[in-house]
A and B are shown apart, each in its own frame.
Chain A
Amino acid sequence: MIKYLVSLLLIISVIACNNEQNQQSDDGFGSGDDFTVPDSILNQEEAPLEVSEDAMDDIIENVSSPVEMASLLKDEGVKFNYKLLSPTDNADNYNSNFKQALNLGILGADLGYLNMYNKTTSVIDYITAIKSLSDNLMIGQFFDFATLKRLATNSENIDSLMYISVSSFDKMDSYLRENNRSNISTLLVTGVWVEGLYLATQVAKDTKIDKINERIGEQKMALNDILIIVDNYKSDKNFYKLSESLTKLKDAFKNVKITYEAGESEMKEVNGVLTIVQNDKSIVTITDEDLAKIIETTKEVRNEIIRL
C-alpha cells in the first residue's frame, strides 16, 4: 500500500513540475525554451560575438516600429500605393533561412502599412505569406493566422488586427532571442526597418514633405545600430554581403546632421491624462542631394533583399 502511495506522490510531483515548466514557456515572462529548433544557420561558425547578447537585445528593442512610419505617411495625407509593397508570390521560393527571415521582416512592415490604411482585403495575402515564412523558420506558432484572417474579413476590427499583427512579430522576435537565435532576429528586425525606410523614401521621391524627410534623416541613428548587430555575424558570408549593402547606405547618410536644442519639459493634465510635453528638440538637416542618394541606395538594398 505504501509503495502505491509513494508512486502516486511521485507521479503528482512529476506532473506538477512539467506543468510549471510549460506555464513558464507559454507566458513569455519565463525562458520559453520548451522545444529545440533545428536551424541550419544557428551557431554556424561558432565565431565569438563582438557585441553581447544583452547589448544586442537593447539594440533590437531600440528599432522603432514600422507602424510609426506608416502612421506618419497616413497623417501627412500620403495616398496608399499598392505598388510599393513587396510581392507575396516569392514567399514560398526563398529557400534559405537567411532570405526567409529578412523577407519575413519586409512583409511584416508591409502588413503594418496595409493595416494602417485599412486595406484589409490585401491583408489576407500578406498574412498567408508571413505564415508560410514563419513556419519555415519554425516560429509560426506565434503568428495567430486564424484570428488575423478572421479579423481581416471585418474592417471594423482594424485595431485588433493591428494589435495582433504587431504583437505576433514581437513574440516571434522575443522567442528567437530567448532561444539563442538572435541571428534570425537580427534579420527580421533588419527586414522590417529596411522596408519602413523604403516606403518612406519612395514617398519622398515624389513629394516634398518636411516631416517625412526629417524622419528619413533620423534613420541614420537606427542604421548605425542595425549595422552593429548585423556585423556581429559577419563571419557568415550572407551577413557579410548584407553588411556591405548597409554600409553603402550608411555612406549615403553620412552628411545628414542631427542637432539638439535643450528645453524644460512641461507637465499638464489633458482630458484627465497626465501629459508630458517635451521641449527638447532634435533638428535634422538633410540636403536634396543627400536625400536622393538615400532614396536610391535604399531601393537597391531593399530590392536585393526581396530578389530570389
Chain B
Amino acid sequence: MKKILYIILIITIFILGKQTKTYAQCNNKLVTICSGGLTKNATYLKELKVRLQAKQSGKKAPIARYALMLSKGTHYRLSICNAKEFSGKAIIQLYDNNNRLLGSSYNPSTKKHYSAFDFICNKSAVYKVLVSFEDGKEGCAVGILSMIKN
C-alpha cells in the first residue's frame, strides 16, 4: 500500500510540476515585457512570436520565417526578447528579397548578442525576417518591429 501511495505521489508531483513549469513567460506576457522595453521615440508595429524545438541531430536548426513589407524613408527597429525559462538565445536577422543579410542581433565573430538593431529603409519591398536560437537550442522569443521617430 505504501508503495502505491509513493508512486501516486511521484506521478502527481511530476504532473503538477510540469504544469507550473510550462511557459511561465513564453506567452503574451513576453510580448508585453518586450514591447514595454520600447523607447519613447518608438512606435510599435508588429510582434513576431517564436517557439522552436531544439535542433535534432543530423538536421538543420529550426528557423521561424516571416515576410514584412517595409517602406522607404522609414527608420525601423527590430528588437528581440527571450523567455527566461529556455536556455536558447534568440537571433533575429533581416534579409532583403535577394537573400542578402542586412542586419542581425548576433555577431558571430565576437559572439555578442544585441537586444535590437535599427534599419533605415530606402527601398520599399518585402523583406524576410528570420528568428533562430543560438546553437539550435530550444527557445521561446518575441521579436518586435517598431518605427523610430527621429
Binding site for B on A (CB under 8 A): 1-2, 5, 8-9, 12-13, 16, 19-20, 23, 26-29, 58, 61-65, 67-68, 71-72, 75, 159, 162-163, 166-167, 170, 211, 214-215, 218, 221-222, 258, 260, 265, 267, 270, 273-282, 284
Partner of A28, one of B4, B16, B28, B126: B28
The smallest C-beta distance from A151 to any residue of chain B, in angstroms, reads 14
Q: Is the CB of B15 within 8 A of A13?
A: yes
Q: Is the CB of A280 within 8 A of B123?
A: yes
Q: How far is A19 from B123 in the complex, measured between Cα atoms in Å?
A: 46
A-B residue pairs in contact (CB < 8 Å), sample of 22: A5-B4, A23-B27, A27-B23, A58-B67, A65-B46, A67-B147, A68-B147, A163-B44, A166-B44, A166-B45, A167-B47, A215-B72, A258-B124, A273-B116, A274-B103, A274-B116, A276-B94, A280-B122, A281-B72, A282-B72, A282-B122, A282-B124
Q: Is the CB of A29 within 8 A of B51?
A: yes
Whether A67 contacts B19 in the complex (CB less than 8 A), given A62-B69, A282-B72, comes out as no
Most buried by A among B16, B45, B96: B45
Q: Is the CB of A1 within 8 A of B1?
A: yes
Q: How far is A68 from B12 in the complex, measured between Cα atoms in Å?
A: 51
Chain A residues with Cβ below 8 Å from B114 are 274
Interface membership of chain B positions 92-126, coded 1 if the CB is closer than 8 angstroms to chain A and 0 otherwise? 00101000001100000000001011111111111
Q: Is the CB of B67 within 8 A of A62?
A: yes
Partner of A27, one of B8, B26, B73: B26
Q: Is the CB of A260 within 8 A of B4?
A: no
The smallest C-beta distance from B30 to any residue of chain A, in angstroms, reads 9
Which 7 interchain pairs have the tightest Cβ spacing?
A27-B27, A275-B118, A274-B117, A282-B123, A276-B103, A64-B69, A280-B123
